[in-house]
Structure 1
Amino acid sequence: MTHPTRRRFIGIVAASSALALAPSLLRRAHAAIAPTRWQGVALGADAELRLYHPDRRAAEQLIDRALRELRRLEGVFSLYREDSALSVLNRQGFLAAPPSDLVRLLSESRHYAQVTDGLFDPSVQPLWRMYADHFAQPGASPDGPAPADVARALAHVSYRNIDVDPQRIRLRPDMALTLNGIAQGYITDRVTDLLRSAGLERALVDLGEIRGLDASARAEGWRVGLADPLSPDRILAQVPVSNQALATSGGYGTPLDAAGRHSHLFDPHSGRASPRYRSVSVMASTATAADALSTAFSNMPLARIEALVHALGVRAWMVLPDGKLIAQGGGD
């Protein structure tokens, strides 16, 4: 997952600024057990695990298990590793006997593509290649690739052309996938599920996307800061996270050009690389959902976001180009 495609930069942005877990903002009321903490790099981003377990040694063993699971899943979804299942699929155009996690996540990707009318689409990798090639050329037009080049790349973008079943995954010619708009959320969920299955009752998982686990379901949860994309040291809002997940997408951390006019958040309909918002954060019951929806909402009009927020029972925060924060859902 450390290849410089669209979601890798989202992870860096989410962990280091837009969803920063600042010590002053992250607290747990009436905590009876001090957390066992791990801090490091995961999925190419700063990461943290906080496990509330009365036995520190047992907590450390759970952290080791969680990190092994994370590395295993990186071996499925990474675009940086040539031997990952996803890299092999992109190179061959098909994959026999695919890992069950890849089948599952591609099925989830299709669901969120349908829900968002295709504004979440894992097949946008040809757009990344085209923009990267364009801006790598000396004297490249600051307006981006020519319309004809965009049209050629878009001809290979459609989630509907991904054939998935447990025995085989097949792509149409010249297609390529990236799961960087959803895989961080999926891995966050799998690690959280691992901890819950081991009997852990309280944990905070921050792998670029954030998920809280608390069997007591106390409403106050952890406080997470939403940072200002224009000034990441400034907090725009604080939101509680308890048995929920929070993800962010923002193009400001990953410009494709020196002027910062084009980012990795591609519109699968038009091929544009200039999202509508400086950042989008979504809170949902799972990190997979929050991740995919924050990606899709980046190129979605506010009215359509509002309709989906209420239909899906999620919350969303959009930072407009002028820096204004718009919140939707949860009573708004």
Structure 2
Amino acid sequence: MAKLVTRRRAVSIFAAVAGLPLLGPGTSARASASAFVWSGQALGAPAKLILNDHDATRAHRLIDSIVTEVARLERIFSLYHEDSSIVELNRVGGLASPPPELLALLGKCSNFWEATGRLFDPTVQPVWALYRDHFASANVGENGPDASVLNACLGRVGFDAVRFGSGRIAFARPEMALTLNGVAQGFITDRVVDILRDARITSSLVDMGEERAVGVQSDGTPWRIGLAAEEDSSEPDTVLRIVNRAVATSSQTGFVFDEQGRFGHILHPRVGAMPGIYRRVSVVADDAATADALSTAFNLMEIDAIRDTLGKFPSISVDLIGTAGNRQQLGRPI
């Protein structure tokens, strides 16, 4: 049986706040005079919340409510919870009375699907499962699944066959399945920011798989986000300084199916796995869901196609590194 190689995260926060201690999963503590930190998990990935507030009682109460809300959203979006809404949808091909958050996110996905020339397509889940099962099998073929099997699987893909409205979600083709892993972390990040802003928090950094800054740090400086193509990088290749913006990074090497790293997890909806064009693609946007979705889709686009797509998103910034190590910035200056 082939070893399934994974590198789950492709972005790290480096020195976001000088001197903050690292806390264990599922813990919260006071880190300085006004900074509180929670570290845990969100959709299977490391998560962190840095909250600046002089009211310790309010800070801990907010952290508790955020942890509860993230757990609730995981029961909607996670593919790894057997009782989640999306697992049930994929199992039976339809869902009556779906959660409003699922409908809201599908609406966003429809917009991203159209804006990216249908490259952002959450219905690639059957193709993802095909590669997973292929490389987890004994006597695995190093060149990937058989072409006829892959083509049949690709025939199930197409977001236009997802029917959704206020009372129901249904697949119009048999054996379809959804994954929202390319956007749900951003959506959850945005939900956490909404909670903080409703509580009138003016200084926070939220990392629920993607990063979003609220205001500035307690010393008045921008939040610092370090970018790296590999989870185990000892230092960032780039540091961004952001205020009231979100950052998402995607990389083909963030998850690979095979030991050689030839088959990455960002799948083309009409081709399947394809050679990586970039070491990483980072997107800065006003909200984390947009940054998350576009960073995924841009991994499948050449530079000119990314530029064309940015014409629809004038506030978006892109920082990417090609496979040869060349770095480029596109869109709005960072």
Q: TM-score, normalised by structure 2?
A: 0.89
1:314 partnered with 2:306 = no
Q: How does 1:13-162 map to 2 (within 5 A)?
A: 13-14=9-10, 18=11, 20-23=12-15, 25-26=16-17, 34-162=34-162
- TM-aligned CA distance change 1:195 to 1:231, over 3 Å: closer
Question: How far apart are the structure 2 equivalents of 1:187 and 1:89?
Answer: 20
Residues 247, 283 of structure 1: 8 Å contact kept = yes
- How far residue 27 of structure 1 moved from its aligned partner, in angstroms, is 5.6
Point out the more displaced range, 105-114 or 133-142. Answer: 133-142
Q: Take 1:52 and 1:274, find their aligned partners in 2: how far apart are those partners?
A: 42
Determine the C-alpha separation between the residues in 1 that align with 2:75 and 2:333.
Answer: 40
Instruction: Give the conservation status (yes or no) of the 8 Å contact 1:276–1:298.
Output: yes
SS in 1 for 2:241: strand
- 1:118–1:269 CA contact under 8 A, matched in 2: no
Amino acid at match of 1:203: S
**CA shift at 1:272, angstroms?**
2.4
The amino acid across from 2:326 in the alignment is K
Deviates more, 1:84-93 or 1:305-314: 305-314
CA deviation profile, 1:253-290 (whole Å, cap 9, x unmatched): 31101111001110112122433222111110000000
Q: Is the 8 A contact 1:266 1:274 kept in 2?
A: no
Equivalent in the alignment of 2:181: 180
User: What's the secondary structure of 1:234's corresponding residue?
Assistant: coil
SS of equivalent residue, structure 1 residue 190:
helix
> CA shift at 1:81, angstroms?
0.9
- Please give the per-residue CA displacement for 1:63-99, whole angstroms capped at 9, x wherever unaligned: 0001111000000001111111101000010000000
Check conservation: 1:27, 1:223, Cα contact below 8 A: no
Q: Give, in whole Å, the separation in 2 of the partners of 1:315 and 1:308.
A: 12
- CA separation in 2, counterparts of 1:164 and 1:284? 27
| Larger CA deviation: 132-141 vs 193-202 | 132-141
Distance 1:328 1:27, change over 3 A: farther
- For 1:185, the aligned partner's letter is G
Residues 193-272 of structure 1: pairs in structure 2 closer than 5 A: 193-214=194-215, 220-229=221-230, 232-272=233-273
User: Match for residue 328 of structure 1?
Assistant: 330
Q: Distance in 2 between matches of 1:298 and 1:60?
A: 38
Q: How far 1:118 sits from its partner (Å)?
A: 0.9
* Alpha-carbon contact 1:202-1:214 (below 8 Å) kept: yes
The structure where helix makes up a greater share of residues is 1
2:98–2:169 CA contact under 8 A, matched in 1? yes
Aligned Cα root-mean-square deviation (Å)? 2.4
Per-residue Cα deviation, 1:120-146 (whole angstroms, up to 9, x for no partner): 001000101111121122232211112
| Contact 2:216/2:223, CA 8 A, preserved across alignment | no
Structure 2: runs of 5+ lacking an equivalent: 20-31
Structure 1: gaps spanning 5 or more residues: none
Residue 292 of structure 1: aligned partner: 293
CA distance in 1, matches of 2:143, 2:193: 43
1:153-208 CA-to-partner distances (Å, cap 9, x unmatched) read: 11000000000001000012110000000000000000110111122121110111
Cα deviation, 1:52-72, whole Å, max 9, x if unaligned, reads 111111101000001111000
- Calculate the TM-score normalised by the size of structure 1: 0.89
CA deviation after TM superposition for structure 1 residue 219, in Å: 8.7
Equivalent-residue separation in structure 2 for 1:158 and 1:293 (angstroms): 18
Instruction: State the 1:230 CA deviation.
Output: 9.6
Give the share of equivalent positions with the same residue, in percent. Answer: 38
